[in-house]
């Protein structure tokens, strides 16, 4: 089989250009000005709603894939918000809505990512949802490469 006869299937290394657009037309991510994204198909390295649409595609194929929130970054969890006092942040830190922060979980000591949902006079509302939770994701993709993975790549579960 020649390399360009390959079609996307499990255990293959796929290279793909993609542009991710939200429902309001905002482009949140694109590989087009840089290197294509490379990943092992079938290993859950990209979001499930996108991965399952790639099977059978060949090099040079284009597709638009619309992924529902549930198959993307999940629905917004209303319990994943937390109000904290403004005073826990250093005064010189310029807080802005939408700003990403890393907080240390008091119980586990782990760093977790959060976003400022709202700034109130004395309090800050933090959102622990993924920033793309609840969003319908539209991917415009082009397959730019497909090759068999090495035994080592398959054993490690990622591309070398």
The nearest distance, CB 160 to Zn ion, in angstroms, is 6
156: contact with Zn ion by CB under 5 A: yes
104: contact with Zn ion by CB under 5 A: no
Task: Tell me the DSSP string of the chain.
Answer: --GGG-B--TTEEEEEEEEEE-TTS-EEEE-TTSPPEEEETTTT-S-HHHHTT-TT-BTT-EEEEEE-GGGTT----GGGEEEEEGGGS-TTS---TT-EEEEE-TTT--EEEEEEEEE-SSEEEEE-S-TTTT--EEEEEEEEEEEEPPHHHHHHTS--
Q: Of the ranges 43-51, 76-84, 127-135, 150-158, which one interacts with Zn ion (CB under 5 A)?
A: 150-158
Q: Of the ranges 2-10, 32-40, 88-96, 152-160, which one interacts with Zn ion (CB under 5 A)?
A: 152-160
The nearest distance, CB 6 to Zn ion, in angstroms, is 22
The nearest distance, CB 151 to Zn ion, in angstroms, is 11
Q: Which residues in this chain contact Zn ion in the complex, by CB under 5 A?
A: 156
């Amino acid at each position: 089989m020649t390399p360009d006869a390959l079609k996307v299937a499990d255990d293959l290394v796929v290279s793909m250009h993609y542009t991710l657009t939200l429902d309001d037309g905002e482009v949140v991510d694109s590989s087009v000005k840089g290197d294509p994204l490379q990943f092992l198909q079938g290993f859950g390295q990209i979001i499930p709603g996108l991965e399952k649409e790639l099977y059978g595609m060949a090099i040079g194929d284009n597709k638009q894939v619309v992924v529902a929130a549930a198959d993307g970054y999940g629905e917004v969890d209303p319990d994943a918000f937390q109000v904290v006092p403004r005073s826990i942040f250093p005064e010189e830190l310029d807080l802005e809505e939408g700003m990403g922060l890393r907080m240390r979980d008091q119980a586990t000591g782990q760093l977790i990512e959060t976003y400022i949902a709202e700034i109130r006079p004395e309090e800050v509302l933090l959102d622990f949802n993924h920033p793309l939770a609840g969003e319908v994701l539209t991917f415009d993709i082009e397959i730019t490469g497909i090759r068999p993975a090495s035994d080592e790549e398959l054993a490690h579960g990622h591309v070398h």
